[in-house]
Amino acid sequence: MAHAAQVGLQDATSPIMEELIIFHDHALMIIFLICFLVLYALFLTLTTKLTNTNISDAQEMETVWTILPAIILVLIALPSLRILYMTDEVNDPSLTIKSIGHQWYWTYEYTDYGGLIFNSYMLPPLFLEPGDLRLLDVDNRVVLPIEAPIRMMITSQDVLHSWAVPTLGLKTDAIPGRLNQTTFTATRPGVYYGQCSEICGANHSFMPIVLELIPLKIFEMGPVFTL
């Protein structure tokens, strides 16, 4: 999870998030190079005395500054489209979880386990134990296995919500009357936090998401039924 004074992105817990971090660094280096070039040109313009005010033809330069931005856009667009299509792939999920957004809590349904349904509310400050995180911990966590493709079916019962877990690279809108889906494969166990990322009313800030990822062998023993 994020911590105070953090500058970069959260550590990746899924292959998609790893790809997003690589693309972020790739695009950031291009931005740094463009900013350096522009600042250098401005510096020369402000410090160099102009000895000739006549404008001469510079077709070679015009050709370069027309083609170069097009090449840069292609270098950014190709990896971006690749990741976009990767996020839409659904390859034979091992488990399907349905998430329903409400004002202001989440309902989860394990469709592969006899329709197990439970609500997940934010823990009030009076109920926090030592080590719990204020405004982020919930009474019922979503327990999921690692190294297994998980499909999330996301919708809403009232207003627009957004189911987002940054460390997994997930952010999917919950829309009333529409069922959106996303998939992920977690690579390491742990407890990961997210929040509703769509302004949905007065208590929008109090809709945390907590995923508890455990090894597949332990999950198969039935930890989900202890909720």
Please tell me what DSSP assigns to residue 148.
S
207/103 same-domain check: yes
* Cα distance between residue 139 and residue 210, in whole Å: 9
Question: What is the three-class DSSP state of 202?
Answer: coil
Please tell me the predicted confidence (pLDDT) of residue 225.
46
Structure tokens given for 195: 């929040």
The answer to whether position 3 is within a domain reads no
* Contact (Cβ atoms closer than 8 angstroms) between residue 211 and residue 194: yes
* Cα distance between residue 13 and residue 213, in whole Å: 10
* Contact (Cβ atoms closer than 8 angstroms) between residue 138 and residue 207: no
Q: What is the pLDDT along the chain (227 residues), one digit of tens a residue?
A: 677 778 888 888 999 999 999 999 999 999 999 999 999 988 887 887 765 555 566 677 788 888 999 999 999 999 999 998 888 887 788 889 999 999 889 999 998 887 789 999 999 988 888 888 888 999 999 999 998 999 999 999 989 999 999 999 999 999 999 999 999 999 999 999 999 998 888 888 899 999 999 998 888 876 454 44
The answer to whether position 37 is within a domain reads yes
- Least Cα distance to 209 among 177, 162, 169 occurs for 162
* Cα distance between residue 108 and residue 106, in whole Å: 7
204/114 same-domain check: yes
The answer to whether position 2 is within a domain reads no
User: Whole-prediction pTM value?
Assistant: 0.82
Domain extent for 160: 95-221
- Least Cα distance to 91 among 206, 198, 177, 181 occurs for 181
Secondary structure string (H, E, C) spanning 40-80: HHHHHHHHCCCCCCCCCCCHHHHHHHHHHHHHHHHHHHHHH
Question: What is the three-class DSSP state of 138?
Answer: strand
82/108 same-domain check: no
Please tell me the predicted confidence (pLDDT) of residue 46.
82
The answer to whether position 79 is within a domain reads yes
Please tell me the predicted confidence (pLDDT) of residue 59.
76
Q: Of 42, 66, 88, which marks where a domain is finished?
A: 88
